[in-house]
Structure 1
Amino acid sequence: MVNILVVDDDPEIIDLLRLDLELMGFQVDSANDGMNALKKAEAKIYDLIVLDVMMPKLDGFEVCKRIRANRASASVPIVLLTAKGTIEDKIRGFNAGADDYLVKPFEFQELMVRMRALFRRTGTLNKEVNAPKKDEVLSAGEMRLIPSSLEVVLNGQIIKLTPTEFEILYCLMQHVGEAVSLATILQEVWGYEADEDVRMLRVHVGGLRQKIEVNHKHPLYLQTVTNVGYRLNPVPTEIPTSL
């Protein structure tokens, strides 16, 4: 059974999402403020968290940061819900660790598309259907990517990734040493026609660099290819590529 936590201070939204999600066969828990959401996220590991931004006690950005800071829940997919749709708010949400961002009001089918894209990344739907699962360990130079735990091993250090960070790195490791276009990464990672600004991708790449690079401002592994996209180098280059 796929377990989902819905967090919103509007009881009507919680009731509507609970009804629709349970009809789809999901197990749904709910919380109506940030503190309650954190308690539930610490007590149980969910397959997905749908998290409102504007809430009492703790807003969704802070809740997201704290969930990511907890190793047990660090890789749980998070979709932020908000009435604000500016690129600044989206960047703030992604910097907090969110995997996707949905602006209110929204259609339930749009939420389902984004949820299934996240489930595809984490293999969650394998609980429900006999879908192929990425269970191999990928290697590229000093890196080893472990799909089963959403971790990368680099120089003997185990680094926990968010689902989106993992999928970006997985995509690039399929093309080690090659320039991969932004359009290709968006399609392979999000799994649908992404209409968001490419800054969404750049924010996630920035978070990934902070985890795998000695100096994220001068990346040696995950490099920018001007006017194309990104390239993963299996061995650090001597001359850093600028952001």
Structure 2
Amino acid sequence: MLNIVVVDDDITNVQLLQMLLELDGFKVNACTNIPEAISLTTPHTFAFVIDWHLERNASGSDLLHAIRQGKTPASRDTAVIISSGDHRREQEALAAGANHFLLKPYPPDELSKLLASLLTS
């Protein structure tokens, strides 16, 4: 079973994503902040789904940079999907090393399809 870490500071979003992804067969570690996300990460983490806007003093890019710089237990090339309701964040996220950017709101099955395509690539 593929392990995915979902990070969003909105607990409702985290719980919804966890439920939907688990229904599609993924193992999900859901959390609301960066320190918790890092503590839930293992060398077997397949992907991260990170909301761009997190805590007051942090953003999804902070966790993305930590992953790409090898500051988490996950591989540096672990798949990272950044989501935001602000389309202006897309280029910044991709330039920082995100594999994909999802503009919120997105259809519920879009994330699972994207994760499945990352698995096969």
TM-score range, shorter chain: 0.7 to 0.9
Aligned to 2:47: 48
> Residue 3 of structure 2 contacts residue 28 of structure 2 at CA under 8 Å; is this kept in 1?
yes
CA distance in 2, matches of 1:45, 1:61: 21
Shift in Å, 1:20: 1.0
| Mapped pair 1:36 → 2:36 | yes
Checking the alignment, whether the CA contact within 8 Å between 2:7 and 2:33 is kept in structure 1 is yes
Deviation at 1:39, TM superposition (A): 2.9
Separation (CA, whole Å) in 1 of partners of 2:97 and 2:64: 6
Gaps of 5+ in 1: 122-243
Q: Identical aligned pairs, as a percentage?
A: 28
1:96 equivalent in structure 2: 96
Distance 1:3 1:13, change over 3 A: same
CA distance in 1, matches of 2:66, 2:35: 11
Residues in 2 aligned to 1:65 and 1:81: alpha-carbon distance in whole angstroms? 15
State the 1:2 CA deviation: 1.0
Q: Aligned letter for 2:84?
A: T
Q: CA deviation at 1:44?
A: 4.6
Q: What's the counterpart of residue 77 of structure 1? A: 79
Three-state SS of the structure 2 residue aligned to 1:75 is: coil
Contact 2:81/2:101 (<8 A) preserved: yes
**Unpaired segments ≥5 residues, structure 2:** none
**Counterpart code for 1:27:** K
CA distance in 2, matches of 1:30, 1:9: 10
Report matched runs for 1:1-243 at 5 Å. 1-41=1-41, 43-56=42-55, 57-70=57-70, 72-86=74-88, 89-121=89-121
Q: Specify the SS of the correspondent of 1:106.
A: coil
Q: List, as ranges, runs of 4+ consecutive aligned residues in structure 1 with deviation greater than 6 Å.
A: none
Q: TM-score, normalised by structure 1?
A: 0.46
* Partner AA of 1:10 in structure 2: D
Q: Aligned pair count?
A: 118
Q: Is the 8 A contact 1:11 1:32 kept in 2?
A: yes
Rg (Cα) greater in structure = 1
Match of 1:116, as an amino acid? A
The question of whether the paired residues in 2 share the 8 Å contact of 1:38 and 1:67 is answered with no
